[in-house]
Structure 1
Amino acid sequence: MPSSPVRHPARAAASASETAHAPGAARPWRWRTLALAALVAALLGGVAAVSCSGRSGPPEPGSSQLSGMLLDPQLSEISGLAASHRHTDVLWMHDDGGNPERLFAVNTRGDRLATLRIEGVTKTDWEDIAAFDLDGRHYLLIADTGDNGGLRRTLQLHIVEEPEKIENARLKPAWSIAFRWPDGARDCEAVAVDIARRQVLLISKKRQPPELFSLPLMPAGNALQTATKLGELAGIPQPDAQLKRDNPMRARLQGQITAADISPDGSTLAVMTYRYLLLYPRQPRQSWAQAVAGAPRVRDLPWLPQAEALGWAADGRSLYATGEFIPAPLYQIAP
């Protein structure tokens, strides 16, 4: 079947809202329900359009397409996403603080396939996840690094091996890393693994410009590690004077870093904010500090409800992105 144009879901919701306020429209408590229904219909229509078009593979370079929808109530607070290196078309996701220690296996249409409990750890505020391969094994790094209040003295990274089968199960970390910041607490929602350097990269969320830190992926012993500051990220788009005046909260939030991931070939660091996707290319002999000091390629994200989860596809040809509330679109974005 030929594909149909996908109406922007935010506009669909706004249209429903405007209709609800028209003379003779539904009462205020009902227009929110109508707006939500319009949003879901628009997003599901987009999924159907992609399916019926017969398209396969990533979208055209520089574009995005709707891959699926998150509708499962258990996926309502997704804060991290990583594409499986072991299972085709499987994405690993987790929710943030206040929820059990668990990972979700989700397909690329947004359907939850399995829930895995992580044993032996305490979850404070999980904020990102990264997939990597090491010595022929497939691993996931879970970052318990959220700190909205700037109060945590120590933070944790937990590394678990990807399970052989996609089914409900219990996992234990292969190892964990406890660490602290070198100069006081800060919020961090973005981590990535550079396997060539056996290094974990971490990016601060709220400070401007954002700061880049590193930790060893496999530190010797169990001693508390101290993150090393590598540099600062250049090129974060800044709000203009009108946005600061008209919507100061949006102006303050739109440049905050909420996720990051390194491409499978190690050449590009992708960084997500609440509004933008930034791509920092790295030359073969460059350090990451040098790479993020240069100007990134900047793109507006497609519409997302609180964009907080981003990860490269296993083949490195695209990225997957979603938001924290349901219903939430799951996008595939070509760099």
Structure 2
Amino acid sequence: MTIANATPRRHRCARKRPKQTSCVGGIGPVRSCLVALTFLLNLHLGSAQQENDHGDTSTATTKQQTIAEPLLVESSGLAASSREPGYFWSHNDSGDSARMFAFNDRGQTSGRCQLVAASAIDCEDMASFLFGGRSHLLLADCGDNQRRRSSISLHLVEEPDPTKTTMIHRVGTIVVSYPDGPADCEAVAVDVDRGQILLITKNSLPIARVYAVNLDCLNDPLPWTKHASATYMGAFAMPMVTAADINPRNGDLWVANYFKGFCFRCRDRNASLAAQLNSLPEPAELPPWRQIEAIGVDAKGDVWVTSEGSPASFGRILIPPPTPLRK
């Protein structure tokens, strides 16, 4: 995998919309072909890879369960609760309000959460994370199939009890614009160690662009609405990226598309995001379910996926657990 122009910069959230900057370099047709070949080579090499210090991901299998939530008809995002182990959150794709549904690891419905103070156009992913010693949820209204939206919205809340029905009024919304114009994004992850929200674009060509938004907005008490310009971090070879999450135990970045799951190992917690994405990702087989568009990693490092449809399929990818990170 190669990542282009990966020079991290920090953008602090501002209360006024910053001016957009010019595009940070493009990828020409020759380079596109080379990157596509790199992607195919990575698939081949990754599938042949056997054992590594974080476990073998090449023989992943999944036990299929279903989520008993009748209102969850198009699961588009998944997050393991950082407040209550063994519970998860998901949400619908476009056409629904800003709400999330909670269930346990057997797919049994446990609670619901409505963001009263937030609107939604096309929610595509979500994340659960700890910040300042508190559990938080991020609901990403970031889909833009036609690439017409001048900005997207990232809604942040303190995680409610997943065993209850909750109406949340205290919402922090980051209105995000891309430096090089509209983009379709269906994969969002929160990198607490680096203090960033990662946005990974979905493209039919095998190029996924990576952007970052600073997470320090959460230092201010909720509620608020702020504007930020995403920082372009680079690009890697992978088509149709639909989901992402970060392993809270060791910093591994999991990314999924319609074909496979991929793990970018974090072998050094002090390394840059560019260095992590420059490593060869390890593929993991996804189950043959209808349109998997969500992936989540729980506090134990287990990786879970959901698929669209009603009832939604849900299950854990069975891979050997990663070894603890060496300090």
Shorter-chain TM band: 0.7 to 0.9
Shift of 1:263: 0.5
Shift of 1:299: 2.3
> How far does the alpha carbon of each residue in 1:254-309 deviate from its partner, in whole angstroms, 9 at most, with x for none?
x3101000101243100010111010012323211221122210123111211111
Higher mean C-alpha displacement, 209-218 vs 170-179: 170-179
Work out which of the residue numbers 247, 251, 263 in structure 2 matches 1:263: 247
> How far does the alpha carbon of each residue in 1:97-147 deviate from its partner, in whole angstroms, 9 at most, with x for none?
111221101111222222211111111111111111012110011111000
1:193 aligns with 2:196: no
> How many percent identity over aligned positions?
35
Shift of 1:324: 1.1
Secondary structure of 1:132 counterpart: strand
> Which residue is equivalent to 1:313?
298
- 173 and 310 in structure 1: CA distance in 2 versus 1, 3 angstrom threshold: farther
> Which residue is equivalent to 2:230?
227
1:147 aligns with 2:131: no
> Which residue is equivalent to 1:123?
120
**Which structure would you say has the larger RCO, counting Cα contacts within 8 Å and 6 or more residues apart?**
2
Whose helix proportion is higher, 1 or 2?
Answer: 1
> Which residue is equivalent to 2:110?
113
Work out which of the residue numbers 244, 253, 258 in structure 2 matches 1:274: 258
Work out which of the residue numbers 299, 310, 320 in structure 1 matches 2:284: 299
1:64 aligns with 2:49: no
- 293 and 137 in structure 1: CA distance in 2 versus 1, 3 angstrom threshold: same
> Which residue is equivalent to 2:75?
78
Counterpart contact for 1:91–1:105, Cα < 8 Å: yes
> Which residue is equivalent to 1:202?
199
1:183 aligns with 2:180: yes
Secondary structure of 1:152 counterpart: coil
Partner Cα separation in structure 2 for residue 225 and residue 193 of structure 1: 16
> Which residue is equivalent to 2:214?
216
> Which residue is equivalent to 1:138?
135
Q: In structure 1, give the amino acid aligned to 2:272.
A: S
TM, length-normalised to structure 2: 0.74
Partner Cα separation in structure 2 for residue 303 and residue 329 of structure 1: 11
Partner Cα separation in structure 1 for residue 172 and residue 278 of structure 2: 32
> How far does the alpha carbon of each residue in 1:42-75 deviate from its partner, in whole angstroms, 9 at most, with x for none?
xxxxxxxxxxxxxxxxx99643331521353311
- 181 and 136 in structure 1: CA distance in 2 versus 1, 3 angstrom threshold: same
Counterpart contact for 2:112–2:162, Cα < 8 Å: no
Partner Cα separation in structure 2 for residue 168 and residue 322 of structure 1: 22
Work out which of the residue numbers 101, 106, 131 in structure 2 matches 1:104: 101
Number of residue pairs matched by the alignment: 257
> Which residue is equivalent to 2:274?
289
Secondary structure of 1:292 counterpart: helix
> Which residue is equivalent to 1:50?
none
Is there any run of 5+ residues in structure 2 with no aligned partner, and where? 1-54, 320-327
Counterpart contact for 1:160–1:172, Cα < 8 Å: no
Pairwise CA RMSD: 2.1
Partner Cα separation in structure 2 for residue 164 and residue 330 of structure 1: 21
- 282 and 86 in structure 1: CA distance in 2 versus 1, 3 angstrom threshold: same
Partner Cα separation in structure 1 for residue 249 and residue 118 of structure 2: 31
Secondary structure of 1:298 counterpart: strand
Is there any run of 5+ residues in structure 1 with no aligned partner, and where? 1-58, 237-254
Partner Cα separation in structure 1 for residue 249 and residue 236 of structure 2: 21
> How far does the alpha carbon of each residue in 1:238-259 deviate from its partner, in whole angstroms, 9 at most, with x for none?
xxxxxxxxxxxxxxxxx31010
Partner Cα separation in structure 2 for residue 164 and residue 91 of structure 1: 11
Counterpart contact for 1:69–1:110, Cα < 8 Å: yes
Shift of 1:174: 4.0
